[in-house]
Each structure stands twice: as C-alpha cells, then as structure tokens.
Amino acid sequence: MIAADQLTYDYPGKRALDQVTFSLAPTSITALVGPNGAGKTTLLRCIAGLDEPYSGSIAVAGIDVLRRPRDAHRQIGYLPDHFGLYAELTVRQCLLYAGRARGLDSAALDARMRDVAAQLDIADKLQDKAGSLSRGQRQRLAIAQAIIHRPRVLLLDEPASGLDPESRAALSGLMRRLRDEGMTLIVSSHILAELEAYCTGMLVLQHGRVVEHRVLEHSSRADATREIRLRLSRPVSGLRELLTQRGVTISSHDTQGARFSMSGGDDALSSLLQSLLAAGLPVCEFTLEETSLQDVYLKAVEDHRVQP
C-alpha cells in the first residue's frame, strides 16, 4: 500500500532522509518511531505529497506521489503534529468544508459528517465553534477532518498529543476500527506503550535512515514464537531432558525452572502445560514473556548508534 525507494530529502546543511526504503502491506498499522530530529515528520510529509524529496520515489496505493500528487491526495488522510482549525467555523462547518475540499459529493456529505463526528465523540459539539473547543476536542476534530473522505492511507503525527487518558484509550480503539475498515495507517508517536496496543509493525528512523523495520508478531498467531518462563515448587532432576523431548528450545535452566522458546499458538501452549502437569512436574509458574515495543526500539537504536 505504501512503498518508498531510496527517498532522500535535504534541508540546508542537513540531510533529513537518507535513502529511505521500505514497503507497508495493506491494512497494517505501523509505528513510526525514532529520536527527535530523526526525520519522522519529514517522511510523513513526503508520503503525503507536501514535501518533494531530493531523490527517490514513493507510491501510495500504486500512485506515484511525486508525479500524480492530486490523485494521491484522494487516497491519503494526514494529521500533522501542529495543525490548524478555522476557529470561527462550527464543528459541523469544519467537517463539511473538509469533505467538500476532498471532493465528497454533497448528497452523501452530511451523513458522512455525522458518522465521523460520532466516531470521534464530538457529535454533541457540532454547533460549537472550533475556537471554543478544548485541546483534546480540537485534536479529535482534526482527526475527523483527516478521515472524512475515507482515505485508504492515514498518516498521523503525534495524534495522542493533548488527549486525556480516556481519550487516548478511545483513540486506540479508533485505530483498530479504521484498520478493520480497510485503512493502512502510519502513526508517529513517542508514547510507545500506546502504540503497542494496536500497531502491527514498527519502522525505526535514526539520523534519517531506517535502522529497523519489522512486522510485530502477535503471540496468539499459530506460527508465532513464544518465550516461556517455567518455575517449579521444588527441584526436579532431568528437567532439561523432559523439556527437550517436547520440542522446545531452552535458553537457561536449573533443577527448579527454565526459560525456553516454542512455536505455536494458544492450543500448543495449552497442550505443553497439560503435558508437563501429566508428567508430574510441580508447576507453580508458567508465564508467557512478551517483548515490549520499547524494548525492541531501544535495542534497535543502540545497535545502530552512529554519528549523524
């Protein structure tokens, strides 16, 4: 759905993007992360067709953004970190204007306006002026404007900025719903714990370069690799041999516990535990160890620590 090839962008005296290459699958949600100044906002603006790179190419839904920017804009919704609203327009007028500016037919526009207002929990604010809204309400209005034309790709730069905890939780639910509706999302944020709740992939930038791009495995998948911590209530000799017979890969062990990895989904995990209990092991802890998004990010940055 999104493909960048050798994307390079220069500011005077600074290279913001350095041969950035990646591709994102349809209906994915990618966390765009990196230190301040890594090039995240510049990358989003290039994808949105707002900044023209020095070299390279980028395509959205098969459309060359540089050669056909207007066609690409019809497929893209974009919320910048610092956005503006027409303060003297009502919320309803802001949404109607955003819809018409993006080419929506007037016959369907009113229904779509009410739909996105309900999605973003601002339906009761339709007659209020945008300038009277709180910071969080303004953020939700801006997101509603970005999705009113049902874009296939949605780019969000720090979308949770200014939102209270309840609104941030609602935003996570919205991200999942938009993906279920067929959108492909890139979300730039420093709040990694929240990104972890809904992102399916991670793209790490450092000094304008891609230093990590991975699809995030979900532990419920049948082909996922699981990391397990096992602890027994008393020592048992032959624990290593017993676990090895069950096809797991042991990373550490003693007579009273072990850490190991295994492949398979929830059914495989349940079968393994039942097998261990049936063998008479006094299991008191059988824990699935998850690697957090922040752990993956920090390791990627540390492994690729270079001078700009």
Q: Which helix (H) or strand (E) holds 252?
A: strand 249-254
Write down the pLDDT at residue 95.
96
Write down the pLDDT at residue 288.
82
Under-50 pLDDT residues of the chain: 219-220, 307-308
Whether the CA torsion 17, 201, 169, 91 is positive or negative: it is positive
- Write down how long the chain is: 308
- Output DSSP code: residue 130: G
pLDDT in tens, 60-71: 999 999 999 999
Helix ranges (DSSP H) in 102-183: 106-119, 135-147, 165-180
User: Distance between CA 76 and CA 59 in Å, rounded?
Assistant: 11
Q: Where are the domains of the chain?
A: 2-215, 225-288
Fold of the 225-288 domain: Alpha-Beta Plaits (3.30.70)
Write down the pLDDT at residue 162.
67
Superfamily name and number for 2-215: P-loop containing nucleotide triphosphate hydrolases (3.40.50.300)
User: Distance between CA 81 and CA 119 in Å, rounded?
Assistant: 21
pTM over 0.95: no
Q: How far is CA 10 from CA 51, 54, 191, in A?
A: 11, 7, 27
Q: Which helix (H) or strand (E) holds 283?
A: strand 283-289
Count other Cβ atoms within 10 Å, centred on residue 163.
20
The closest of 134, 140, 133 to 117, measured between CA atoms, is 140
41: its two tokens: 């906002």
